[in-house]
Every structure is written in structure tokens, then in C-alpha cells.
Amino acid sequence: MTASTVQNSEQKSGQNSGEDQIKQNMDKMYRRTRHIYDITRKYYLLGRDNLIESIDANEGENICEVGCGTARNLIKIAQRYPKANFYGLDASDEMLKTAGHNLENAKMAQTITLKQAYSQSFQPDELFNIDKPLNKIVFSYALSIILPWQESIDHALELLPEGGEIHIVDFGGQDDLPKAFSKFIFWWLKMFHVFYKPEILDYLKRLEVEKKGTLDITHLYKGYTYRAVFKKI
């Protein structure tokens, strides 16, 4: 066994160990709350429907949501763009249980494919058994909870073909909202290991400067949230 083989094996082992810990943490977090997730989150995960309206999925395109949770978004996207193909992944098996039930109730179990996987390492061809690349990758309030968010963005860009798009909706800086309200929201989110990350937009802007793609940002609800579309070039 060569030194490089040993190093690659150790790196993979370390990655798997870290991903296993992520899965355990997510399963623990959502084991009970998954049952009321959609009811409670609809009041503060704003901008998701705005993202869905802007995706504009064309016939035959492969659309994947990373951190699909209960499949709420995927169901709505598939209803709006029925001629595209839909896939979702989540680190938590617990969340995917609820997602599976929701697909059954929406009669979309044969339309949307869900798998347990990780944002920074999933391989769509193996995971979903598809022979064409993903065209659009969605992060809906996912990057604010994903620890390796930069690696996840980089991986998404690697997977996309030229012209492919990353669609993001997440918490903004809330600059135009009352300071007391913003302070409360950030405190509340922290309790659930969710964090406002201004560095995400900074990183996307840097990628645009490096000519990796073009970036369009829309701030919504007085900065409470933002929608970003990064198109690979």
C-alpha cells in the first residue's frame, strides 16, 4: 500500500466519521420536532415560495434540494413544474421519514426521489441513479445550519454543468428591522444551532469576482431573508 493510498484512506475515514456525527446530531434534533416542523416553521422561514416561483424548471431538467427536510419545498416545486425531474437529500433519516409520508400523501412518491446523504460529498449519479447532471441545486434555509457550508457550495458548483444554477434562500442581516426584533431572532435561531452567516454572500460574491459564475441577490422582508441565484459559467 502506497503512502498516498494510506493518506486517502485516512482522509475518507475522517470524513465518514465527521458525517456520521452530523447524522447523529440531525437525527437527535429532529426525532420529535419533525412531526411539527412544517406547522411551526412556516411563520419564520419566509421567502421559500419566492424561491420556488423563481426556479423556472424546464422540461427534463434535474432539480435537487440539499437539506430537503420534510420535502415541503420539493412537493411545491414538482407541482409547479411537473415536467422536470426532482431529487432531494438530507443528512437526517428522521426527517426523511416525515418526507416519505408527505410524498405518499401528496401522491408524489413516484415523482420525487429522496436519499440520505451529505451536502459536501453526495454524488447524484450514484445516489439517484441518473446519467445526466443536475441542472439546479436548491439550499432552502440549509446553509445556515450546515457546518461545512463553503464545501457544500463548492461541491454544488463542481456538480453543475455550465449554465447550472444554485438557488439559495436563507436568513439575512435584518438591517431594516428593529434591532430588538433582530436580536431576538438571532438568539432564537441559535437555540436550534442555526446561525446568520453573512460570510455566505461574501463567498458567493468572491466566486463571481473569480468568474466562476454570475450572482443575483434579492433581499426580502426588509432584510429578514435573502434569495440568491448563482449561475455557473
Residue spans of the domains in the chain: they are 3-232
Whether 56 has a pLDDT exceeding 90, the answer reads yes
Report the Cα 96 to chain-centroid distance in Å: 14
- pLDDT-derived band at 24 (thresholds 50, 70, 90) equals low
Which cell is 137 given? 441545486
pLDDT 10s digits, 4-19: 443 444 444 445 556 7
The residue to which cell 439517484 is assigned: 128
159-183 burial, b at 16+ Cβ within 10 Å, e below that, comes to bbeeebbbbbbbbbebeeeeeeebe
DSSP 57: P
d(CA 23, CA 91): 5
CA end-to-end span of the chain, whole Å? 40
State the average pLDDT for the chain.
85
Res 45: pLDDT: 76
Confidence of residue 228 (pLDDT cuts 50, 70, 90): very high
CATH architecture for the domain at 3-232: 3-Layer(aba) Sandwich (3.40)
Q: Given this model, what pLDDT does residue 22 score?
A: 56
pLDDT digits (tens, 9 = 90+) for 117-173: 999 999 999 999 999 999 999 999 999 989 999 999 999 999 999 999 999 999 988
Q: Is the pLDDT of residue 194 over 80?
A: no
Q: Residue 167: which of 42, 43, 38, 48 has the closest Cα?
A: 48
Question: What predicted TM-score, i.e. pTM, was given to this entire model?
Answer: 0.82
Specify the residue for cell string 432539480. Answer: 63
Which grid cell is 232? 455557473
- Can you spell out the DSSP letters for 74-126? HHHHHHH-TTSEEEEEES-HHHHHHHHHHHHHTT-TTTEEEEE--TTT--HHH
CA-based radius of gyration for the chain: 18
